[in-house]
Amino acid sequence: MAGDWQPDFEQLIDEHQSMVFSIALRMTGDRGLAEEIAQDVFLELDRHLSKIESPLHALLWLRRVAMSRSADALRRRRARGIEQWVEIDETHGAKAEERPSPLADRVERLLATVPESQRVALILRYQEDLTPEEIAATLGAPLATVKSHLQRGLKLLRAKAAIHLKEYVRGA
């Protein structure tokens, strides 16, 4: 019963920290900033805990706020003139088991070069495994716009991968 559900803050951190951190990391491309955003998102969750009605509500709320705070952080960084992925060793500070595979790392770096609106759609589609309808609901955007962002983003990423990830392509 959703009405009987009592949110357990620490349990919500355990369950969703990976999602929130991954969204922030792939949106910003900066591990330190992503960790900071993840902390802020959970602190904000703590302030809104009384309004969270169910585990699904918590998941959707965290996903939406993680996206929103990451976009805010990117805007602030752009305003300060800092480009994404510049002088950032993304794996710096990460333990060996946390480091992505070389391919995943390079795909992430390519993803960071895709326009933000398309990147958001791609992250929600391929990291969070959402349907275009669910992405539209999460972002509060028209379905047609989301589909367009997905198609363009995928096409762009594919074209970039064909150039930059040749070694993974037979015969390249």
Partner 1 sequence: MEPESLEPVGDFADFERELQAALARRPAPPDLKRKIVGRLWQQAGRSHRRMVWMERLAASLILAAVASGAAFWHHEVEKRRGEEAKQQVFTALRIANHALEQMNAQLAEHNRDAQ
Instruction: Please give the residue ranges that form the binding site for partner 1 (CB under 8 A).
Output: 10, 13-14, 17-22, 25-26, 35, 38-39, 42-43, 46, 93-95, 97-98, 100-101, 103-104, 107-108, 111, 122-123, 126-127, 129, 154, 157-158, 161-162, 167-172
Kindly tell me which of 79 and 148 has the beta carbon lying closer to partner 1: 148
Alpha carbon distances (Å) from 112 to 56, 86, 90, 96, 137: 29, 11, 12, 22, 23
Residue 4, classified by CB atoms within 10 Å of its CB into exposed (0-12), middle (13-18) or buried (19+), is: exposed
The 8-class DSSP code of residue 54 comes to S
Closest approach, Cβ 2 to partner 1, in A, equals 25
Neighbour tally for 55: CB within 10 Å: 15
Kindly tell me which of 1 and 101 has the beta carbon lying closer to partner 1: 101
Kindly tell me which of 25 and 139 has the beta carbon lying closer to partner 1: 25
